Amino acid sequence: MSCAGQITLDNTICDGAEFDVEKDVRVFVENLKHIGGDNRAIIEVVASRTRSQRLEIARKYKERQGRSLVEILISRSNSQIKEIRDLYMKTYDHDVDDLIRRKTRGEFCDMLLMLAEPSRDESDEVPMDLLRRDVKALKRAVRKGGAIQYYAFNEVFCKKNFAYIRALFELYKQNSERDIYRDIRLYFAGYMKSALKAIAEYAVSPTGYFAHRLYRSMKGLGTDDNTLTRIIVTRSEVDMEQIKKIFKEKYKHSLESYIVGDTSFSYRHLLLKLVSSSKTLFESVNQVKHDGAILSSTEIAETYSF
């Protein structure tokens, strides 16, 4: 086989038009999820992709796992995080922190370690003097760059309460051209940038954040079933009505219509029941629902079981 316009060492494989990175990532996610998954499907993907395509699949795969971990850690209370940590330790006989250190590096690793500590301020207090000091510190940090920048942002984004973070965004843009989103975009990259954006999005509107995550889990070819199921199960009795409302406003179609388009059979039926507003429907699926924290720990385990 020859590959027009491309020089490659293994010229039996070329960057074919049929390459769909999301689809390949799904093959990995699906088949690595359980022992006894279909290894042939994975081999098929690995063997029929070029080196650059394989690297892109690996990058996307890790990105997806990273996003899920950030979502879990920012949206759980300290007591839930503590529960996750204890359960993880009991199940796997090592610490969540060891796992984070093994699987991630650099600033992103430091950030996850901070997020995985059950120590976020859970009050609604917004002391103005502290706020002014932090805004100054962050603005100075982006000018200095390097370790100072990461430290300053982590201290705020991983530790402060969300009302405080919202107030900080407001103050940050007062008397200056810059808002914090612009500075995150300009001065951060990679996982760190997406994690900060996720925390910002969550702080401003948790329901908007989840609507966006649900949309991302279904848009385009295929479905990110882990994300879809996790969010629906954990939010169904918390704020699903608002999430549905925002979903419809932002994406012009109902969450239900997306679910119908992306899923089938009893899985579809269950998800639709969970997003429905009827109390009796909730009751009928109660036995299959997990406690939020327990589901999260399973998710963390699955997230990093590759």
Residue 287: how many CB atoms within 10 A of its CB? 6
Q: How far is the CB of 241 from Ca ion (least distance, A)?
A: 23
Q: How far is the CB of 267 from Ca ion (least distance, A)?
A: 14
Give the C-alpha separation, 137 to 143, whole Å: 10
Phi then psi for residue 105, to 5 deg, are: -135, 165
Which residues, in sequence order, are CB contacts of 112 under 8 Å at separation 6+?
69, 70, 73, 100, 104
Would you call 172 helix, strand, or coil by DSSP? Answer: helix
- Return the number of the residue (71 or 225) whose C-beta is nearest Ca ion: 225
10 Å CB burial of residue 214 (0-12, 13-18, 19+) is buried
How far apart are CB 271 and Ca ion at their closest, in Å? Answer: 13
Q: Are 239 and 232 in contact (CB under 8 A)?
A: no
Which residues, 6+ apart, have CB-to-CB distance to 124 below 8 Å?
A: 161, 163
Cβ closest to Ca ion, residue 224 vs residue 299: 224
Least distance to Ca ion, CB of residue 218, Å: 5
Contact criterion met (CB below 8 Å) for 197 and 66: no
Q: Which is nearer to Ca ion, 105 or 250 (CB)?
A: 250
Question: Minimum Å distance from CB 27 to Ca ion?
Answer: 15
Q: Which residue lies nearer to Ca ion by CB, 106 or 220?
A: 220
Nearer to Ca ion, 79 or 257 (CB): 257
In terms of Cα–Cα distance, which of 121, 155, 125 is closest to 138?
155
Report how far residue 227's alpha carbon sits from residue 133's, in angstroms, rounded to the nearest whole number: 37
C-beta of 218 vs 293, nearer to Ca ion? 218
- In the complex, the smallest distance separating the C-beta of residue 60 from Ca ion, rounded to whole angstroms, is 16
State the minimum distance, in angstroms, from the CB of residue 139 to Ca ion: 41
* Complex with Ca ion: residue 192 or 232, whichever CB lies closer: 232
Instruction: Report which of 108, 75, 69, 103 is spatially closest to residue 192, judged by C-alpha positions.
Output: 108
Tokens representing 38 are 């279909």
Site residues (vs Ca ion, CB under 5 A): 218, 262
